[in-house]
Chain A
Amino acid sequence: MWVYILRRILYNIPVYLGILLLVMLALRTKDPVWAFLGKRKSVADHDALEHKLGLDRAFAVQYVLFVGDVVTLSFDQESWGQPGKTANELLGDAIVPSLVITAPALLLSSLISICVGLISSFYRGRTPDRVLVILAVLGMSISFLVYIILGQYFGAFILNDKVGHRIFAVEGYPDSLTPFTWWTYCMLPVAISVIVTMGYDTRFYRAVMVEEGTRDYITTARAKGASKSKIMFVHMLKNAMIPIITRVMITLPFLIGGSILLEMYFGIPGMGRRLILAIRDNDFPVIQAFTAVFAGLYIITNILTDVLYALVDPRVRLS
């Protein structure tokens, strides 16, 4: 297995280097120094800053240096948007706030959606299935932004007003995370995130389960007298693992990436919000570091997905 993993890593190195090259080229299509300097500046200001930031060096030199930073995970260039902070520090500060929202949201939405998908496939074509499908389609049809705006208004502002004390914070992020402050500040964004993703996930898992439900091994299990719950939760679920893993794994980079809209509206100082603010500020070192990290995460999760396939499905060989 280790040989397989090593080989997958080696295959992906040129891909990653190519991504880094593209990222660096894309960020330099327009002179980032002019963009940063803003309204009051001169050519002399531009040249001085460009030199100070090392952006007047040959592109190849900048590329090699940046690859070095990525390899050593030391994005210690000073942020342009937040002077005094390095890209590394901003990354580090933003990861936890993103994770405390996205990880529970992924877990809850996956668990609920799989269960709903199973129920829906069990009642395939009957009223419960139809109702669930209609609800899922309805859920998918409404924009994430609408959920956020309404969720914030009714789920926090109106609810707190009616109850007379704060159940959920309208926005904000706690000074220190405890289960209580997590509930106050993070539960509502998590709930909104779960509701939004459930529509998509339910339809997907239902389709997977329905397909599995028509397989011969299910008929065989039924013929052998296996109980309905055993068929669903042991036979079907186990064999549906490949698409489930694929779906969960492709979501993993977003755990770190956070949800931009949720973080913007709920004032959560996570990765998504940080990246958007960096783009607004033309914060070149931070944008470069964040995109390199995101790209790396995608590649790592791709490799992990391949490995997990082999673990859950004996038909997939690590060769």
Chain B
Amino acid sequence: MRNRISFFALAAAIVALPIGLAGCPNGGGEGGEGGGGGAAKKSIHLPMRTDGPKSLDPVQGSTVYDNRACSMVYDTLLQYKYLVRPFTLEPNLVEAMPTVSADGLTYTFKLKKGVRFHDDGCFPDGKGREVVAGDVFYSWKRLADEDNKPKSWWLVEDTIVGFDEFKAAQNAAETFDYDAPVEGFKTIDDQTFSVTLKKPVVRFLWLMSMFQLSVVPHEAVEKYGNKFGRHPVGTGPFTMEEDAWVAGKSMVFQKNPTYRDDHYPSADEITDPKDRARGLHEPAGTKLPIVDEVRFTMFVEDQPMWLQFESREIGYTQVPAEYFPQAFVKLTKQLKPEYADKGVQFHSEMLLDFIFRGFNMEDELLGGWDPESRTYDPKKRKLRQAISMAISWEEFNTTFYNGLNVVYDGMIPPGLDGHPADGKAGASYRGPDIERAKKLMVEAGYPNGEGLPTIDYYVNRGGNSPEQAELFARQLKKIGVEINVKLVDFSTLIQTVDNKKAGFFSFAWSSDYPDGENNLALFYGPNEAPSANHFNYKNDEYDKLYEKILSMPSSPERTKIYEQMRDMVLEDAPYCGSMGRERFYIINPWLKNFRPSEQFYTWVKYLDVDDSTRP
């Protein structure tokens, strides 16, 4: 009889399994069902072009996706003005912009009255309590607690009086005491507090809008422990239940019914006429957030995201480079009639990118740094300049990015003080100019590359890096420079650069805040690897200027110094560059008020939906 057990018995067992499972609720899941809910509920479905955030604990966040999700549920003291460009800050949790002491060291903030945390089980009776000054300091101190595995301590490192000492002492102690004082933190009353800095740095204000410094209640952190990042409690416009997040797949946020009095900006705040033409001024004064539910779906592949947009399921999509010709006329960068006729709108946004090929200035072959005299070998400078002159960034742009990127001189991206007019700076050695490059090779002592050893070139193996490296090698061959392409994974690339082992490498930098100072810091001597100065560039005069601009607010004088610093770096050529991305978005007609930015992500609260144009 036992021989009668056949394939069909096995098949029956297999088929029983999913049928049985089909009766089970999905483990904490949610997902593809769009919309849902009651008839009057305003619900929007938006994409995240990635596997999504890792944690909704602000101190554990570092990526733009963590930023997007955290901006839904938390608030920072300041925020970016939604419709104002260039980027400008405005009060968010505070009543007004902080007052700054005459020496530029002490910032005094006053919190808005009546701002409450989300209603949650961590509070007595489940009612969110009012935010007080102590919550701000508590939240910032969490960045110092290594038990939280914080990813962004660098934001406040060496900035606030006594904070670094507090971090060291508390992490060395048996238990981390959040009540221990920090010299630079002063609570004046429940709403008012001041922060004293070690040195006057203007960027401190930008930090006040960064999601890592969001305000959280200690009750929630204590109650949920390491689950706090999955059960966020903040003051933001939306709330999220723990089971509304399927890791790597989707997350659903609900309107915060106790959200403070916050309104859509007034019509005269719009700075871009195109935004006015799109009607972005019309909802002025509307109470925020406007929609009741926001569903994010994570797309790790582009095709499903594109098809979901075409099906009008999701409100907008970024336009991946390979889909650009489908939706846009390549030459004019205008939307094709078949899209425009359907009411689809588009928006493009320059990203604060600095894409470059860097040299290690301590490398014997390429840098020629002499620590004794603190100078660079002039012949090595000629070699770097020659390499820079041999590279055609435009060719990279047209070959790999459909010509959508922007090529420019210097390290400061478009839209910021210090970015050269038309992208061209006089001191630039940006190519292609093969004749001049060849001449520089002769002056460097390597005519036609003779005597020059093969240069190891490190690049992240992801995406189309191999093809890009191929083009790069071909361009350099024209002046006799041979490179040995080392395709490595990203962590190896960082490690090699940080250990100063990579003489020549490909990297990119996205500005943390919209101030050229952030990019100029990449060449500040004391920031050498493993810090952000991956070039290990040292120039005493440059360093002095950098220290000077730290405390200077935006002004023509400061811009002049930015340009001076930019040109100093261009002359020394510690990198070849530069390029930045322009992001194109297309927007379905049912999504209203959409004015995206990748510099901040508080914009979801301004969005609205027109269900009459939705399938």
Q: Which residues of A does B touch, CB under 8 Å?
A: 30, 34-36, 38-43, 45, 48-49, 52, 78, 81-85, 90, 92-93, 96-97, 99-100, 103-104, 106-107, 110-111, 114, 149, 152-153, 156-157, 160-161, 169-179, 181-182, 185, 237-238, 241, 244-245, 248, 255, 264-267, 269, 273-274, 277, 280-282, 308, 311-314
**Judging by beta carbons under 8 Å apart, are B62 and A267 in contact?**
no
Which residues of the other chain, A, contact B28 by a CB distance below 8 angstroms? 93
Question: Binary interface profile of B, 219-239, with partner A (CB < 8 Å = 1, else 0)?
Answer: 000000011111100000000
A35-B491, A49-B146, A267-B249 known; 7 new pairs, CB 8 Å cut-off, are A100-B21, A100-B22, A171-B32, A177-B24, A185-B32, A264-B300, A281-B54
| Known A40-B154, A265-B303: A170·B308 in contact at CB below 8 Å | yes
Contacts of A178 in B (CB 8 A): 22
Alpha-carbon distance A308/B5, docked complex (angstroms): 9
Q: Which residues of A contact B32 (CB under 8 A)?
A: 169, 171-174, 185, 267
Residues of B contacting A266 with CB < 8 Å?
Answer: 304
B246 within 8 Å of A (CB atoms): yes
Chain B, interface size: which category? 35 or more
The interface stretch among B7-15, B319-327, B422-430, B549-557 is: B7-15
* Residues of chain A within 8 A of B146, CB atoms compared: 48-49, 52
Q: Is the CB of B27 within 8 A of A312?
A: no
Instruction: Name the residue on A nearest B224 (C-beta).
Output: A84
Of the listed residues B31, B62, B299, B494, the one surrounded by the most CB atoms of chain A closer than 10 A to its CB is: B31
B51 at the A interface (CB under 8 A): yes
The A interface is mostly helix, strand or loop, or mixed, namely: helix
Chain A CB within 8 A of B57 CB:
yes
Interface centre among A39, A85, A178 (most CB of B within 10 A): A39
User: Shortest distance in angstroms between A79's beta carbon and chain B's nearest beta carbon?
Assistant: 8
B17 at the interface (CB under 8 A from A): yes
Q: Once the chains are docked, how many angstroms separate the CA of A274 from the CA of B146?
A: 27
Of the candidates A38, A96, A175, the one whose C-beta lies within 8 Å of that of B62 is A38
Inter-subunit contact B249/A269 (CB<8 Å): yes
Contact B22 A170 (CB under 8 A): no
Residues of B within 8 A of A52 (CB): 146-147, 149
Q: List 30 A-B contacts (CB under 8 A).
A: A36-B491, A39-B494, A41-B530, A42-B530, A45-B153, A52-B147, A82-B54, A83-B55, A97-B26, A114-B7, A156-B307, A157-B310, A161-B311, A170-B307, A170-B308, A171-B307, A172-B33, A173-B249, A177-B23, A178-B22, A182-B18, A237-B7, A255-B14, A264-B301, A267-B31, A273-B249, A274-B247, A274-B248, A280-B51, A312-B6
B residues less than 8 Å from A245 (CB atoms) = 7, 10
CB distance from A288 to the nearest CB of B (A): 17
- Which chain B residues have a beta carbon within 8 Å of chain A's beta carbons? 2-3, 5-7, 10-11, 14-15, 17-18, 21-33, 36, 51, 54-55, 57, 60, 62, 146-147, 149, 151-154, 171, 226-231, 246-250, 297-301, 303-304, 307-308, 310-311, 313, 489, 491-492, 494-495, 530, 532
Q: Which single member of B26, B300, B311 contacts A177 (CB below 8 Å)?
A: B26
Instruction: Tell whether, in the assembled complex, residue A181 and residue B15 are in contact, meaning their CB atoms are under 8 Å apart.
Output: no
Contacts A238-B6, A312-B6 hold; do A174 and B31 have CB atoms under 8 A apart? yes
Chain B residues positioned under 8 Å from A281 (CB to CB): 51, 54
**Bound complex: CA A153 to CA B308 (Å):** 10
